Amino acid sequence: MKGFDLSLGRPDAPLHAAAHSHHPWPDVSFEAQQRAWRDAAQLMDRKWDHVFTRIIPAAQAHIARQLSLSDPASIAFGPNTHGFVSRILSCMPADRPPRILTTDSEFMSFARQVARLEEDGLVAVMRIAMEPFETFEDRFIAAAAEGGHDLVFFSQVFFNSGFALRDLDVIVRAVRDPDIFVVIDGYHGFMAIPTDLSAVESRAFYLAGGYKYAMAGEGACFLHCPPGYGARPRDTGWYAGFGALESGGGRVGYAADGSRFLGATYDVSALYRFNAVQDWLQRDCGAVPSMLAEVRELERLFLREVDRADGRINSSMLVVPDEAKRGRFLAFRTEQASQIAQTLAARNIIVDYRGDRLRIGLGIYTDADALVRLAKSLVT
C-alpha cells in the first residue's frame, strides 16, 4: 500500500472496497493540505493571486492532459457538481419550461434538482430507461436525433450499475441542432477509464470531480465548458467576474473561457490536494490505462474467489458482466444488498449499495490478501 500509509497503515484501518466512492487519500495529499494552510496564513489576501496564477492553472493543465483538451482555460472549478448543474440550468430558456433529454439513472446532483423543478412545471423531462443495456445507446441516440430539446444530459459511467458508454462522440454527434446544450456527467469516468474529449470538446460540457478516482477528496469539482455555450449564466458568482471582458452599460460582465461558469468563494485546499495527487500519479503510478489494467486484474481475482467460495454473491449476479462495457466498479444485483453491506461494515469492511445493487470498487492500493479476506467475508 505504498503511498497510502497515513490512511491505510493503521492497525484499525478498514478494508476499503468502495473505490467508486471515497478513495483513501494518498500521503502526498496531507503535505498538500499543509501547504494550503501555510499559503493562507502567510499570504492572507494575496493568497488569491497565488491560487489564480499558480494553483488553478496547474489543476487545469492536469485535467486537460487527462481528457485530451486543447485549452486548459475551458475548465472551471467549484466545490461540488450541483453548483455547475444549477448554472447550466440557468442558461436554459426563461420564457417556457426547458425541454430536457436524460436517462433514468443519473446521479442525484442532477436527478434530484431536475425532479424538483419538474414538480413545479419548470422543466419538461424525457427519461430514457437504461435497461436493457444492450439497446440503450441506440434508444438514446434515436431520442437525441429527434431534436426538440434544450438540454441533453447523460452519464459516461452510470453510478448505479457501472455501465460505461465507450463512444461518447457518437452520442454527441447525434444531437444535430447546434443550439442544444450537451452535458456529459463524467464523475465515474474521470481517472477511472481512458477519456479523450478532443473530438467533442467544442460541443459538449463535461462534469466531474476529484472525490472519487482522482483521490483528491471533496471540493475539487470541475466543468469543461465548450466555447459559445452559456455565454452569460443567470446563476453567477463573483469569481466569474475576475476575467470579465465586457464592460460598460451596466451589463454584468463575463469572460469567454470556462471562468464564465465560476461561482463564489470556496475552500481551495482541494485543488492543492488534486495537484499533489496528479503529480504523484504521473510520477509513480502511470497513466489511467495502466491503473485500469491493474484494477481489472484485481477484479478478475476477486470474482474467481467469490465464485470459488460460493457465498452470498457470485459473478452471475453482475449487473454488467462484460468488463469492456463497465466502469471501474462491480455492481451485483441482489435483494440482500443492504444486509450484506451492513454485515461487512460490522467487520470493518467498507462497500455500499444502491437499492438491490451491491457496489464493490477496488483501487491501486488493494492487494491480493485483502481480496481473499473480502471474498471469505461474503460467505456468511
Determine the angle formed by the axes of helices 288-309 and 368-377, rounding to 10 degrees. 40
List alpha helices for the chain, DSSP H. 5-8, 27-43, 47-50, 56-67, 81-89, 108-119, 133-146, 168-174, 269-280, 288-309, 337-346, 368-377
Residue 75 to residue 223: CA distance in whole angstroms: 6
Distance CA 174, CA 312 (A): 42
Q: Which amino acid is at 3?
A: G
- What residues does each domain of the chain span? 5-26+286-377, 29-281
Predicted confidence (pLDDT) at residue 1 exceeds the cutoff of 60: no
Better-predicted residue by pLDDT, 247 or 290: 290
Q: 331 - beta bridge partners?
A: 359
d(CA 210, CA 219): 7
How far, CA to CA in Å, does 63 sit from each of 56, 58, 76, 248? 11, 9, 11, 34
Residue 207 has pLDDT above 90, yes or no: yes
In the predicted model, what is the mean pLDDT of residues 18-38?
A: 93
In the structure, what pLDDT confidence band is assigned to residue 22 with cuts at 50, 70 and 90?
confident
Is the pLDDT higher at 261 or at 310?
A: 261
Q: pLDDT digit string (tens) for 313-352?
A: 999 999 999 999 999 999 999 999 999 999 999 999 999 9
Give bridge partners of residue 155 from the DSSP assignment.
Answer: 185
Domain 5-26+286-377 has CATH 3.90.1150.10: yes
Q: Quick check: 233 pLDDT over 60? A: yes
Which amino acid, 10?
R
pLDDT at 157: 98
Report the predicted TM-score, pTM, of the whole model to 2 decimal places.
0.95
Instruction: From 5, 26, 35, 27, select the one nearest 272 (Cα to Cα).
Output: 35
pLDDT of 243: 73
The tens digit of pLDDT for each residue in 139-150 reads 999 999 999 999
Q: Centre a 10 Å sphere on the Cβ of residue 297 and count the other Cβ atoms it contains.
A: 12
- With a cut of 80, say whether residue 248 has pLDDT above it: no
pLDDT of residue 236: 97
The per-type count for the chain, helices as H runs and strands as E runs, is 12, 12
CA pair distance 176, 288, nearest whole angstrom: 31
Domain 29-281, what fold? Aspartate Aminotransferase; domain 2 (3.40.640)
Residue of higher predicted confidence among 103 and 4 = 103
Beta pairing class for 124-128 and 99-103: parallel
Is residue 93 pLDDT above 60, yes or no? yes
